[in-house]
Amino acid sequence: MTEPERPDIEGELAALVPLAVDGDGRALQKVIRLIHPLILRYTRARIGGGRMPTAEDVAQEICLAVATSIHKYQDMGRPFMAFVYGIAFNKVADAHRALFRDKLTPIEEVPDSVAPGHTPEDAALEIDDSNQIRAMLDVLGEKARDIIILRVFVGLSAEETAEAVGSTPGAVRVAQHRAIAKLRKALEEQDQHS
């Protein structure tokens, strides 16, 4: 599997994070702008749509937590994104616990109109696709699921993923291979029963 092409986010973060740690507000804003799309992709894969809190809400919480705790970050040879994903794992776990505690999720306000260009049918299809993906990922153990999400949905390298999940790049590649084989088998079984 080839690594996905990405802009040099690591390089930009390496330059900005020390400034943000030292209290530079502009550097912190740039850090948050860089990490937000990655975090949102991760939360969408872990939480999906149609639930409260939403993936977008959790991504905002993660970014806020990064912003308020960045002063604690110490460069110990690990990528900054490992620090960020450590926070993200905890915030997603909190969101899952909250979801199970509160089965009733009332809506605060009902909108007066539908957002243009995004119909209820579009939203339902997005939620259905997201739920199907999440259901497939549920056949995996938590660590394997995190590895697949970080590698496939977020686009991290094996090295970055290893740092985030506390493993080695080789172990990440093996776990990814096994997880994909397990997903393939589950899809084949699902197709046989359809």
pLDDT digits (tens, 9 = 90+) for 10-21: 889 999 999 999
6 pLDDT above the threshold of 70: no
Cβ–Cβ < 8 Å for 159, 169: yes
pLDDT score at 104:
52
CA dist 144 and 1 (Å) reads 17
CA dist 98 and 82 (Å) reads 24
Confidence of residue 2 (pLDDT cuts 50, 70, 90): very low
| C-alpha to C-alpha distances, 85 to 76, 105, 161, nearest whole angstrom | 16, 27, 9
64 pLDDT above the threshold of 70: yes
pLDDT score at 138:
76
pTM confidence score: 0.60
pLDDT score at 147:
86
CA dist 143 and 56 (Å) reads 23
Instruction: Compute the chain's Rg from CA coordinates.
Output: 18
Taking residues 61-88, report their average pLDDT.
Answer: 88
Helices 80-101 and 158-165, axial angle in degrees (round to 10) = 60
CA dist 166 and 181 (Å) reads 22
Count CB neighbours of 81 within 10 A: 23
In the Cβ-directed half-sphere of 132, how many Cα atoms lie within 13 Å?
A: 8
133 pLDDT above the threshold of 80: no
- Tell me the DSSP string of 164-187: HHTS-HHHHHHHHHHHHHHHHHHH
